[in-house]
Chain A
Amino acid sequence: MHKILIANRGEIAVRIARGCHVLGMRAVAVYSEADALARHVRAADEAVCVGPAESALSYLNVPAILAAAKKTGADAIHPGYGFLSENVDFMRAVVAAGLTWIGPPADAIAPIQSKTAAKAVAQAAGVPTAPSAILDDLGDAALLKAAELVGFPLLVKPQDGGGGKGMQRVDKPADLRNAVDTARRISQAAFGSDKLFIERYVEDARHVEVQVLGDTHGTTVHCFERECSVQRRHQKVIEESPCNVLTPAERAAICESGRAFAAQVGYVGAGTVEFLFDPQRRAHYFLEMNTRLQVEHPVSEAVIGADLVVAQLRIARGEKLDDILAGGVTQRGHAIEVRIYAEDPANGYAPQAGTLLRVRWPDAPFVRVDAGFESGDSVPMHYDPMLAKIIAWGRDREDARLRLMAALRETVVHGVLTNVPMLLALLAEPAYVASEVHTGWLDKRFGNEAPGMGSAAGTTALAALAAAGLGGPLAATSAQAATSSGPSTADPWTALAGWRMGGAA
């Protein structure tokens, strides 16, 4: 493996190119017409256009991506996350084209693509799953018996559904009949099937996931856990490692569950096994496996001191985990990551597109920035509006939290609105500081509110505004401005671009 094609864009494409360079490999970027000048193109050794702006015609265009690999002589493809990363057909096409796929073999992940199948694999591997039962008999007695087996509170779910549609929460036996009838009705209308199952509802669940690595020699290891309980409508907002509410025994159990699941499917490469942790019962339940490098992988890298992209590349070229992770894997300190989005949290989180007039990412001890954009870059409207990830490491959680907040205060993004004010407010929330959060916390605590947005401006900001908006052009044409009492004919704002100020007028 000498040249790797990266079938992605943005920060992750930049990050993968850096991993390639560590091993002396060349990196090939692909780009859409909207991304011709993008940061990830500038981070690669070579780049090939794979189609127009629309993802379906470019970043998801399998023939064009394979043609780009052939044209550049790339011998492997790294998919990053999103786009084609978990597409089994693409994996098979890559291998059929004689290229190395940097990820798990299609045969390993095909059996766990559906949630019910993955659950069966988990059970076979001895990995705990939330108690559940298929509702065959809908008679009152049978329902009650199934429900008592699963335990309250529980969720009634359509077997063939998705997206939470038809899902009913039931807290006590008396409400069971109504919930089942409602779920059947909705499921029949939405999915054309009234088959249901019930599953235990985990109250105040925490999202804990285990990073795993598997090599081509049959070794599977875990790289400890991450916690991502601060979520907005199931989207992770703050990610960290370790999960500081686990006891050492609980941590060992959950990490071993993750490893066992990956081993069961013959996993190769980097993957993540997700669990719900029930803080009352002190138990963890298998959720699903993400068969790719994840957005939040840097928090694991920070606490274990290993480069997961480099590990992926070395695994793909046949090296053993014993060599890649020589000396074993240990956790040290604490790391927290936030994702910087071009969005307007105060306006329904509307994605923002436009030119980044000025960007300054933080640069401080123990702070890492994985960015897909620099000053002057355009944020196209066609893709996920994530600009960067900022990760802070500290000796303990509080040290990491303070470093991350200082880094965010230092962050400058002009030209599009970002969620930085909201992230700062969340990191300062007493419940977050005390680590008393669960997957529903953010939505429950703030609803549609956007904490931290719309705060009043400080004096220096106002002085700067006054100086920029008024002082500059006035200073440049002070004689005219000083004598002019009415509105100036020349728009001072247009003059500002070319204005250089040396001090007093």
Chain B
Amino acid sequence: MILLAITNKNIVGRKMSKEELAKELSDAIISCKKDNVIAAVEKARDAGMEPTEIIEKGLAAGMNEVGVLFERGKLFLPHVMMAADAMTQGVALLEKDMEPGESAKKPAVIVNGTVEGDVHDIGKSIVSTMLQSAGFEVHDIGRDMPTKAFIDKIKEVNANVVGLSALMTTTMQGQKEVIEALKEEGLRDEIKVMLGGAPVTQAWADKIGADLYAENATEAVRGVKEILNV
């Protein structure tokens, strides 16, 4: 487990560069400790760093690194959530300094669930958690969910993306059924469809007309950002 401690050293007689401050912010996020993040944000703000720079070059960069460490089995789900929570607190500190509309806005609404007949939960939950920690508004509707439950939730929350998980070759068909239902409901052009699950492949995603296939939670975050251009 890697839990980096934030460096509190004073660099006497020299003003820290923006790069150094950004690194300190990033390291604070990787430490997964709220106090470290708050201290680093206050320090960067007092040093004159712009709120958007603090978020993008420091905090968000740290979250990206957390994603990498998670993918490599060096950080685990609770740490990802602690880092995300710490980032939320850090961003909240900056909101009063930001112009209206500049503050962090959830970039997309995502409905995520495991298709009907499939009771596997953990992989889908990890994807939901990682998407949430990346700043998306995620509605995890659970496992073994009928097609209608996906459609109803998509309509209710006006989702931009739907994630369909299937861990068994026998339940992959459920992903196709949701896509067909989206077409029947006239929703297909308004929503991006992401597929995941061990037996799922890019070829299957292409075959049934999905927009995105993600091999793991980190790729899901990366893929959704790319496809939505956020």
Do A and B interact? no
By a beta-carbon cutoff of 8 Å, the part of chain A in contact with chain B is none
By a beta-carbon cutoff of 8 Å, the part of chain B in contact with chain A is none
